[in-house]
Structure 1
Amino acid sequence: MPHFQIDYSGNLEAIVDLSGLCERIRATAADLETFPMPGIRVRAVRVDHYAIADGDPKHGFIDISIRLRAGRAADVKADATAKIFEAAKDYLAPIMQTHSIALSLEMRDIDPGLSLKTGTIRDHLEAHS
């Protein structure tokens, strides 16, 4: 049940295709064994109130947070983190050449004893080849 949350400064909405970024992250994650495909959830949340660096409103940020159930080896998590970060960085590279944007990513473990969940997504997935 990996959750990918993209917090972004509101001033980027007009210049970054955030749906496209969500899809790039989803597709990259789905190709990695670290992230079970039926549990992948990617969402982007606009942040309207922020202050960055010297306070110039031209600066923007994209912060990606990955939460997943604990239990994976450190090297597996490091590799997955690097691959997701590279996918986001590659996707944003053309925009970052012309705009002031801070990009960050962090992965955190979810304690399975403190994380309850239920759902029917697996029941509704069509068989994939």
Structure 2
Amino acid sequence: MPHIQIDYSRNLEARLDIAGLCLALRDAAVATGILPLAGIRVRAIACDHVVIADGDPGHAFLDISLRLRGGRSLEARKAATAAIFAAAEAFCASVLEGSSFMLSFEMRDIDPALSPKTSSIRRYLPGEKE
């Protein structure tokens, strides 16, 4: 049930393919082996009103938050964090190199006792079973 939410300054849209980043993060999450495709949701939300550092309107940011159901080991979560952040860094490399840009990532556990879920998505994925 991993939720990947991207918050970013709207001025980043001219410098970065946000939809492509969503796909790259989805693929990196699946490649970890601990985040199932059927449960992954990636969404990006542009922030229109931001103040970054000294307020220069050329500054940009992108913050990635990954929430997942508890139960995975710390080692597995650390490895997944490193792999997904590396994919984000690689995707954003030209923006990091050529402009004022902050990139951040955080993974958080969701308490399964406090987070009920239901889904029919697996029925619609090739090769998946509920």
| TM > 0.5 | yes
1:43-99 CA distance string (max 9 Å, x none):
111111111101101001000000000111111101100000000000100121111
The amino acid that maps onto 1:114 is L
- Shift of residue 31, structure 1, vs aligned partner: 1.3
CA distance in structure 1 between the partners assigned to 2:15 and 2:93 by the alignment: 12
SS for the counterpart of 2:102 is strand
Q: CA deviation at 1:117?
A: 1.6
1:38 matched to 2:38:
yes
Superposed structure 1 runs of 4+ greater than 3 Å apart: none
In the other structure, the counterpart of 2:78 is 78
Return the alpha-carbon distance in structure 1 between the equivalents of residues 33 and 105 of structure 2: 19
Q: Which residue of 2 aligns with 1:119?
A: 119
Q: Which residue of 1 aligns with 2:69?
A: 69
Q: How far apart, CA to CA, are the structure 2 residues paired with 1:99 and 1:35?
A: 32
Identity over aligned pairs, percent: 53
Letter in 1 for 2:61: F
Q: Report the Cα distance in structure 2 between the residues aligned to 1:40 and 1:114, rounded to whole angstroms.
A: 19
Matched, 1:53 2:53: yes
> Tell me, what secondary structure is at the counterpart of 1:50?
coil
Give the aligned length.
128
**Structure 1 residues without counterparts, runs of 5 or longer:** none
**Partners of 2:33 and 2:7 in 1: CA distance:** 25
Q: Deviations over 1:24-45 (max 9, x none)?
A: 0011111111101110111111
Aligned alpha-carbon RMSD (Å): 1.0
Q: Secondary structure at the match of 1:13?
A: helix
